[in-house]
Chains A and B, each alone.
Chain A
């Protein structure tokens, strides 16, 4: 929010007397008198931050003033809306594995972060958000652009804290980065009053935090539980591995692969676990959940031991809980003790970091193969291919399907691109059909289901993985929620590929209205602007296609373009995503049609 407030004369004087730190000096290594604002930026440098997504405003102006002298070391991306800023930071965190950093001003700047905080909270994304706040003496007076950001954000942050005195800044920021990135990661918000940003103090240097007595991010692994888990696995006849984002957050992809390969057990993923194991791995049997694959859903209720790794049994994965895997013994590996038994009761809980627990487990299990059990998955796969996959990928109708678009995209990228998706039908189709060779390649809003996530998240994803191709796949609803970030793409020259799947409907809601509300299409008919012309207005090249014959060349043109590109693909208006576990049904009751 660009509105500024009058800085009292006194503070102007303070600001003018602040020592200007030359960016070439390599940061402050010795004690110096600095402002709170400089201390914030010094903390960022010490934490290895190289990029900030933000938007200035009155209450955060002292920090932006200090940033003016740090531009060489700290890249700042000016977004078009604070929600765009925080989603970009999420995208950055997801592809880089580092903590994303956001700046926003007080009041509306801070409240605009709330959706992104909630998204990062439920998807365990490490973020440190700095919000400006009115002067401490104005707190609680309904001052201009004052909002109670600490209380508003309490339920959607892992930790938050208000700084009113600059001397607290180094230790509070050290705590913020430690909390955001350790244990089960999450968003942290630090609200800094303007007086604290301006206040000068003796900066003694920055000390990273590695221990907080009331916070224990690394559980002690109890080996007897690992032993018990190994015993169950070794005795199992039809074991089944399901894994989630915990594997990626724990950087335990190799450990998971070794475990899967030694155990010989088929493995399926949640949508946030996607890309932790290459899609074409012979034991990768597909996706779990509401629009997941047929075999993994049906056979969840047939396996004898279910091994859940770094996942939290979300309702979209489990379907009806009292009919979920009742026959199976459940081994649950999770770093967060509150997830154990939260939704599904564990037979053996293996509480710990999966990077630590998976190798212990792999050590104790026997090398095995389950040819008949794997064949069972393959048989289900054949049924699914006959019932829905074949038609989705090889449609006979004139109108294109989202599946065939993804299929051609796979051929062109070879599965090496970072794919960012929004929320809805295109998200489910992409997760079902996109090919991934490496981890941290799938960026999507899983838990919160935030439409408007993809465009800004793709911007951040590109900065997090600058050498990789980043494709943002977005529906015609979601793109219109954060379309203003085309401005960020233009100004910061972000080379991302925007692929709009336009079915001229809010497709997922329409699908539900068709299936469960007698085709009463209530407010799902959404009009679109001429996206190519909109992109052109931002200096972004693009085209729109509706003919299948143009698909491959259009996708190639998009990928080969040397800067940002927008491709709109008109797809069938009333196509549905199948298979589907209808709400309130068990995973075994998954519908193929």
Chain B
């Protein structure tokens, strides 16, 4: 989950130094209350530090009444860890996790609108669609809408493939991701609701990592 290896990186004095060096893609998952204005509170944590959000999705979570943000950024682990602490500091945020691509299962949804006559005439297209796992959502006389879910490269490839056949519109959703190691939020929320939450809720990265912390 969000427990990270305790690297010996020192925070560089200038944010500029860390850009580009050692940055990788992180998916940040934030559990929050459903509150007007919270999206702004979270978004400005990134914009204040001039960090670009690659993708942002908000949705309900496995727990009723609790919302879940999925945010994708390219940064160093050091910076992402600090961002998550700033996010967790917001009053209405319950928890923020960050994960690399190998720690999550993620998908994006893409929609493609193409002229129906082109599709009907050219059998090749149908074969390509099958190859890319796309399916027709709407078929009308004038246009057809296909849907594909997958990772970025897959949905991008289908754009390239459909372009020669007069792709009219293309749109792709933000990323949604499931954390492989997560046990969900039900048990945690119960802890949060207690006046004095148990230690397992206070997921300070140092906790239970004594040996690593103190070996410095």
Contacts and interface: CB of A to CB of B under 8 A. Distances in A.
Nearest to A326: B10
Interface stretch (A53-61, A153-161, A236-244, A559-567): A153-161
A348 B201 CA distance: 20
B214 A341 contact: no
In which size bucket is the chain B interface?
A: 35 or more
Contact of A338 (B36, B86, B195, B197): B86
B37 A321 contact: no
Interface in A188-215: 210-215
Interface in B66-115: 81-82, 85-86, 88-89, 91-94
A338 B11 contact: no
Given A151-B40, A154-B37, A220-B202, A322 B13 contact: yes
B44 A214 contact: no
A214 B92 contact: yes
A342 B89 contact: no
Contacts of B92: 214-215
A161 B93 CA distance: 15
B89 A336 contact: yes
B32 A338 contact: no
Contacts of B11: 321, 341-345
A536 interface: no
Contact of B82 (A179, A329, A342): A342
B204 interface: yes
Nearest 4 pairs of A and B residues by beta carbon = A338-B85, A321-B13, A213-B192, A159-B91
Nearest to B201: A216
Contacts of A321: 11, 13
Interface string A338-366: 10011111011101000000000000000
Contacts, number: 86
B210 interface: yes
Contacts of B202: 216, 219-220
Nearest to A218: B196
Contacts of A344: 11
Nearest to B94: A214
Contacts of A222: 199, 207
A211 B86 contact: no
17 contacts: A155-B48, A159-B91, A211-B195, A213-B192, A213-B193, A216-B201, A220-B199, A222-B207, A225-B206, A228-B210, A341-B11, A341-B81, A341-B82, A342-B82, A342-B85, A344-B11, A345-B9
A154 B38 CA distance: 9
Given A154-B40, A212-B91, A216-B202, 16 more contacts: A158-B91, A160-B37, A161-B37, A162-B36, A162-B37, A216-B197, A321-B13, A322-B13, A329-B216, A337-B89, A337-B204, A338-B86, A341-B11, A345-B11, A348-B213, A351-B206
A214 B216 contact: no
A498 B201 CA distance: 50
Nearest to B44: A155
B85 A150 contact: no
Contacts of A224: 210
B33 interface: yes
B182 interface: no
Contacts of B214: 228, 347-348
